[in-house]
Amino acid sequence: MTTTNKKSAKGHEWWRSSVIYQVYPRSFADANGDGIGDLQGIKKRLPALAELGVDAVWYSPFFKSPQNDAGYDVSDYRNIDPLFGTLEDFDQLVAESHSLGLKVIVDLVPNHSSSEHEWFKLALQAEPGSPERDRYIFRDGKGESGELPPTNWRSVFGGSAWTRVTEADGKAGQWYLHLFDSSQPDWNWENPEIIDEFNSILRFWLDRGADGFRIDVAHSMKKDWNFPDLDESNSDSGGGALTEADIPHPFWNREGVHDINRRWRSVLDEYDDRAMCAEAWVMPLSRMAKWVRPDEYHQTFNFGYLDCPWDATKLRSVIDESLAAFGGVGAPSTWVLSNHDVVRHTSRFGLTENPPQGQGIGPEHKQPNEKLGLRRARAASAFMLGLPGGAYLYQGEELGLPEHSTLEHRYRQDPTYFRTNGEKVGRDGCRVPIPWEHDKPSFGFGEAASTWLPQPNVFAKYARDVQEGVEGSTLELYKKLLQIRKDYSLGSGELHWLEPLCGDSSIAFENNGVLIISNLGEPMSLPSGEILVSTQTGLMASGQLETDQTAWIRL
């Protein structure tokens, strides 16, 4: 199978400094006109990503799935869902990506399968205590006749984390654990069969040419088999941002998960130059850093940075903590501002407060300030792309695309909305199909008259074709930033704060001879030097960096 990999020298591996672009397959491009994105659609649009200047593309799950959680509920780990295409389409996508110089990162979901997975169906048919049930986490309930769930643990999406099954005799029986939706039963990672199965799944995609994995909810596979109840105040599983007082926790970030990390790392090390990145909502950063020790993950998402508000002092301290924590174990830091689980940063920065994760923004909520949000988002992205380490972009952010914050509830698909009875509107607002051409049906996303989530009219002005070649557009800004980042090897450089320019309302550092400065306060004058790129039009003439603007200057 096709691979582009040549082993790179230690310390200079591609993943240490790359820009990885997240494609959400349902919403990137639709080739067959059914209103849902697919692999052929992506393939057609790949040149646009090569032109943008990213190094790798991470694909959210496209595996066979009943799509109860947009594909994060996998029923066959070795096949493509017909909604998205076939294995042959995947092979073509890999070949095309590699010929354009783009790496391919596959999303692996090891904490849970779909309830439609063959092994879960067998588990339901089998008896309590059977080997089939032992692949998942089945327990008897509490109470006189087992009518109460085994613990008070709550699903991340709301409601109990346990669902009771009906046994073969027609009577209510055991309960199974699902940290997410009831259609996402958790695997039993104490069972050697599951360990072997996932090693084999990793090899399946590596053999097919995948350059690496993003590993979904990587910190929850190990459970406390004493099944203790949680304090009521803490039984809502949140996502893993624990304080030291909550540790050890019965399912988040247990020590044993590091054995799994090491096992997978040794599988990846059988191949040349592959990498894996953990989605682990582990805090504080000093704990997170343990995940990227030399024999564990290559990278982990840095959610401390993602959670950080647009505030100079806070940004600076998250960056310091990240570089110290990750650097301490010889790993690069990563930076990310948006993904398919959070409100797009263009809209987040247009609100006075970050909505809690999964909350989303609905038509009844206070609406973000679009102009302010976009200005700050551009400044924040320009700042992020100057930092050393790996950077992650989420599809549409290069267009400055806002959250769809007025999506009508009748269109909602995220299980969060249903499991919280609408209390949280969920994550659909950042998952809407992206606009390519302003005057085409579904803004060039595909031929269908309507898309799986409807696009708001405001997307027309953010369409790629409106921005292409237009000086000062967000798209052209990203292209320039990525080009200069490459020219000056900023991803593999080093950060040095420039103290005189750092205060309560501005932050500045030097990286490989480039000064990167963001102004979060009153207009300020700039040090002299050639302006390489900036978020502000007309900066060259004025020499004054306005509020919420970023500039890169050659020193």
- Nearer of residues 405 and 416 to ligand GLC, judged by Cβ: 416
Q: Are strands 390-394 and 334-336 parallel, antiparallel or unpaired?
A: parallel
Give the separation between CA 220 and CA 253, rounded to whole angstroms: 6
Q: Which does 217 bind (CB under 5 to 8 A by kind): Ca ion, ligand GLC, none?
A: ligand GLC
- Nearer of residues 404 and 485 to ligand GLC, judged by Cβ: 404
Task: Dig out the tokens for 15 from the structure.
Answer: 């993943």
217 binds Ca ion (CB under 5 A): no
Of 285, 420, 307, the C-alpha closest to 353 is 307
Determine contact, residues 373/402, Cβ cutoff 8 Å: yes
- Nearer of residues 44 and 263 to Ca ion, judged by Cβ: 44
DSSP string covering 314-366: HHHHHHHHHHHHHHTTT---EEES--TTS--HHHHTTSSSPPPTTT---TTSP
Determine contact, residues 426/8, Cβ cutoff 8 Å: no
Task: Dig out the tokens for 6 from the structure.
Answer: 């040549």
- Nearer of residues 74 and 551 to ligand GLC, judged by Cβ: 74
Please name the amino acid found at residue 260: I
186 binds ligand GLC (CB under 6 A): no
CB within 8 A of 215, min separation 6: which ones?
Answer: 107, 108, 110, 264, 276, 277, 278, 279, 297
Percent of residues in the chain assigned helix, strand, coil, to nearest 5: 30, 15, 50
Residue 270 a catalytic site member? yes
Stretch that binds Ca ion, among 25-33, 61-69, 272-280, 510-518 (CB under 5 A): 25-33
Using CB under 5 A, which residues numbered 35 to 74 contact Ca ion?
A: 36, 38
Q: Which does 477 bind (CB under 5 to 8 A by kind): ligand GLC, Ca ion, none?
A: none
CA angle 415, 416, 419 (to 5 degrees): 80
Q: Which of 270, 272, 295, 504 is an active site residue?
A: 270
Q: Which does 30 bind (CB under 5 to 8 A by kind): Ca ion, ligand GLC, none?
A: Ca ion
Give the separation between CA 2 and CA 96, rounded to whole angstroms: 10
Q: Please state the closest distance from residue 68 (CB atom) to ligand GLC, in A.
A: 10
Q: Please state the closest distance from residue 244 (CB atom) to ligand GLC, in A.
A: 23
- Nearer of residues 42 and 391 to Ca ion, judged by Cβ: 42
| Burial (CB count <10 Å: 0-12, 13-18, 19+), residue 506 | middle
Q: Please state the closest distance from residue 23 (CB atom) to ligand GLC, in A.
A: 14
- Nearer of residues 85 and 415 to ligand GLC, judged by Cβ: 415
| Burial (CB count <10 Å: 0-12, 13-18, 19+), residue 435 | buried
- Nearer of residues 34 and 370 to Ca ion, judged by Cβ: 34
69 binds ligand GLC (CB under 6 A): yes
Q: Which does 216 bind (CB under 5 to 8 A by kind): ligand GLC, Ca ion, none?
A: ligand GLC
217 binds ligand GLC (CB under 6 A): yes
Determine contact, residues 278/218, Cβ cutoff 8 Å: yes
Q: Among 180, 310, 445, 462, which residue interacts with ligand GLC (rule: CB under 6 A)?
A: 180
Using CB under 6 A, which residues numbered 78 to 137 contact ligand GLC?
A: 109
Q: Among 341, 398, 403, 548, which residue interacts with ligand GLC (rule: CB under 6 A)?
A: 341
Residue whose CB is nearest to ligand GLC in the complex, by number? 72
Residue 181 a catalytic site member? no
Q: Which does 341 bind (CB under 5 to 8 A by kind): ligand GLC, Ca ion, none?
A: ligand GLC
The count of residues in the chain is: 555
34 binds Ca ion (CB under 5 A): yes
Q: Which does 180 bind (CB under 5 to 8 A by kind): ligand GLC, Ca ion, none?
A: ligand GLC
Give the separation between CA 455 and CA 407, rounded to whole angstroms: 8
Q: Quick one: angle between helices 39-52 and 87-99, nearest 10?
A: 10
Stretch that binds Ca ion, among 26-34, 210-218, 233-241, 497-505 (CB under 5 A): 26-34
Q: Which of 216, 398, 428, 548 is an active site residue?
A: 216
Residues with catalytic function? 216, 270
> Contact residues for ligand GLC (CB under 6 A)?
69, 72, 109, 180, 216-217, 279, 340-341
> Contact residues for Ca ion (CB under 5 A)?
30, 32, 34, 36, 38
